[in-house]
Structure 1
Amino acid sequence: MSTVRDDARKLLDSVLPGNTVITSNGATASKYTEMTGLSQKVMSENWARGGIMTGCNGFTGWYGAKMGSKTYLGGFDLEGIVKKAGKPGSWVLSRQNNRPAYGDILRHASFHVDVCLGFDGDVLLRAAGGQGGKSMGCDVIKRVRGTGPYDFKKLVGWIDIDTYFDAATSPSAGDAAMSWLYGWWKVWDGSDYYYYFFPNGSVQYTRTQPTSGSPPPAHPLNTGTCTYAAPATLVIDWNPMDGGSTRETFYNAYARATRMNATSNRYSPLVATRIN
């Protein structure tokens, strides 16, 4: 895993070791409040008025802050939140051919948010608040195991923490010296793909053909991170999907190049051509 995901694992293992259950009442009440910003009293008053308040949003907001986000990541509109934070490339739409990775912040179709803990085979594992409520008389934060095989339709999408927290997202990453790379490229490996490179060090791809002035893909099929080593090596690490991680190494990515060639650890050689 990346350093960012290693940090996420250390954080979550420290607060939710094993089968730890943190409730909004009893001995763990203060810990629950620390991790959500809510108290048993506030939620009880909400429930008495007919509300359904829980700490699912508060938990992901706390998690994001602990990971170093200056923007609160506890809302349901995660796509809008990361756009306002200047990191639109970190939002990944849930598709049949992609999956979240450890530490990503998930937006469920059922108006719920929590944190991915990876997979056990084909079963999604999560760390989540909002696991109690009015019927239980308290709210709960704990580890959650899916009840069946992973279903991409149950997620709207997720915040890719590698992209969101990558050091390459600092303003200096948008150096004009790399401006030749930013924007659209047509990539061929026997079929056509279209990559969009962001100044923040992330890249997304789609199968929908753009024009040179088109905005970034509205519904990317996957997101990756880029590293560049002068004079001509560009490496893309794509988020895991289809059973493995993909790394593409462009070996002739010279400054102001309009055509690049790459090898892949999983697929055919690639040819990328700048869309001007």
Structure 2
Amino acid sequence: MESDHPTHPLTGKVIVITGAARGQGAAEARALAQAGAKAIATDVRPEPDGDCRRLDVTSESDWTALAAELRETYGHVHGLVNNAGVIQRDRLGEVRPEDFADVHAVNATGPLLGIQHLAPLMPPGSAIVNVGSSAALTGYYPVAYTASKWALRGVSKIAAMELGPRGIRVNTVHPGYIETEMTAAATPAFREATIGETPLGRSGTVDDIAPLVVFLLSDASSFITGAEIPVDGGLTAHGGVKSISDAVRPGTPDTQTP
């Protein structure tokens, strides 16, 4: 039986999460359910034995069907977590236009479609969380992925402005290097270099992200909208100069007097 105890800040709220079959999305769905929400987990490839509805975020017909189902079943939707995303690691001179477009379809157009179809079901006090990336705050080299996350920043800012008068908040979370299936495909050298640029000196976990998502969907953040919150161990805070700072730290060979 659900209660309105402070540990259940989302009791009675219907919240949709995309990309929720595994990894970060699955952790967010669990956290939302534990906070009392009716978490509608969706994924383009749901786990066979999981409680996850199939949704291709690039398909307008899929969003139309989901919105109709939610309207019929619940009447309202109180939250949306646009978590689904794909990575494509080609560099500027290598990426094909079709791959560039495919990444944008998932990472930028998918959230746009979600907002367009579910915002009409949202009463005042509802909230949307878009999951960006530390790549959206930097010139990270995989051009399709980085450009798509920068595009999502634009969608988020405009949505916060347009939906604010209706009492709907829109915020963006920018994870850094988080241990998931997606990052597991990166090379050891990439992982080592990224952690080396992270002031906290470690990678993140899905449980570093999920509590913030819960907070941003709850009434505790009722005056926060249009915000962009890095959850990256300080990776983007130093503007790329950590390695320089480390190199010239007193006592290193480069700074010792001959």
**Aligning the two structures, in what range does the TM-score lie when normalised by the shorter sequence?**
under 0.3
TM-score by length of 2: 0.23
> Whose helix proportion is higher, 1 or 2?
2
Q: Which one has the largest radius of gyration?
A: 1
Q: Which has the higher contact order (CA 8 A, sep 6+)?
A: 2
> Whose strand proportion is higher, 1 or 2?
1
TM-score by length of 1: 0.22
